[in-house]
C-alpha cells in the first residue's frame, strides 16, 4: 500500500471502531486461487455492527476480494477490496 492509502485505511477503520462495536463478521462462499506463496480469495462478507452512542444495530454485506502472502511462516494481507454501502 502507498503511504497515503495506508493512512486513509487507518483513519477509516479508526472511525469505524470508534463509532461501532463489531457484533459479528462472517466470510461466505470463498473461492481461492493459489500462486506460489500467494493466494487470492473472493466471496461475500456479512458484518453486524452496533452503534456505541445509541445502540442502533446495523447489518452490512457485500463482496470482498483479498490477496494474502505467506512470509516467514506468517500470513500477510497484501490487498483487500470490498463493497461498502454509501452513507444514508
Chain position carrying cell 456479512: 46
Mean pLDDT of 39-62: 94
Q: What is the pLDDT of residue 88?
A: 43
Segment 1-47, tens digit of pLDDT = 556 677 877 888 888 889 999 999 999 999 999 999 999 999 999 99
Q: How many CA atoms lie within 13 A of 46 on its CB side?
A: 5
Q: What is the pLDDT of residue 78?
A: 86
The three-class DSSP label of residue 59 is strand
C-alpha cell belonging to residue 79: 490487498
Q: How many CA atoms lie within 13 A of 4 on its CB side?
A: 0
Q: What angle do CA 1, 47, 71 make, to 5 degrees?
A: 35
Q: Look at residues 84, 65, 79 and name the one whose alpha carbon lies nearest to residue 5.
A: 79
Amino acid at each position: 500500500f502507498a503511504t497515503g492509502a495506508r493512512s486513509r485505511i487507518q483513519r477509516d477503520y479508526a472511525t469505524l471502531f470508534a463509532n461501532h462495536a463489531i457484533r459479528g463478521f462472517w466470510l461466505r462462499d470463498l473461492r481461492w486461487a493459489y500462486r506460489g506463496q500467494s493466494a487470492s480469495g473472493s466471496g461475500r462478507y456479512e458484518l453486524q455492527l452496533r452503534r456505541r452512542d445509541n445502540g442502533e444495530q446495523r447489518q452490512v454485506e457485500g463482496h470482498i476480494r483479498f490477496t494474502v502472502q505467506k512470509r516467514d511462516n506468517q500470513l500477510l494481507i497484501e490487498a483487500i477490496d470490498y463493497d461498502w454501502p454509501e452513507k444514508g
